[in-house]
Amino acid sequence: MDNITELLKAIARGNKMAFNQFYEGYETRLLRHIKSIVKNEEIAFEILHETCMKVVKNAHKADLSRGTSHLNSWVYKIATNASLDSLRKTSREPD
């Protein structure tokens, strides 16, 4: 099961093996993407975890009819938004 559409369908059904396969397939790329935004490896790992949990929680909402590139973009958008939220949060914290 290597197609993102099939993985998300299985994740939406609660398939833990599908989640593991998703994580293994996306971990390195997502982490690199997140680190390019937040510039902090520790925070990037936290955001990676948050991103994966959001994918699991919202897999049933993904528009599976739009194809692989749309679903990849959806995953990366979740990661980007979580990264930007983290930056906004840290910029509001007092020094």
pLDDT per residue over 13-35, tens digit each? 999 999 999 999 999 999 999 99
- Determine how many CB atoms are found less than 10 A away from the CB of residue 82: 20
- What are the E-state strand segments in 1-95? none
Q: Distance between CA atoms of 73 and 11, rounded to whole angstroms? A: 17
Looking at residue 62, what DSSP letter applies? S
Which of 76, 45, 48, 46 has the alpha carbon at shortest distance from 62? 76
62's tokens:
């993904």
What percent of the chain has pLDDT above 90?
76
Q: Please indicate, yes or no, whether the overall pTM of this predicted structure exceeds 0.85.
A: yes
pLDDT for residue 52:
95
Q: Can you tell me the mean pLDDT for 49-58?
A: 95
Read off the pLDDT band of 11 (50, 70, 90). Answer: very high
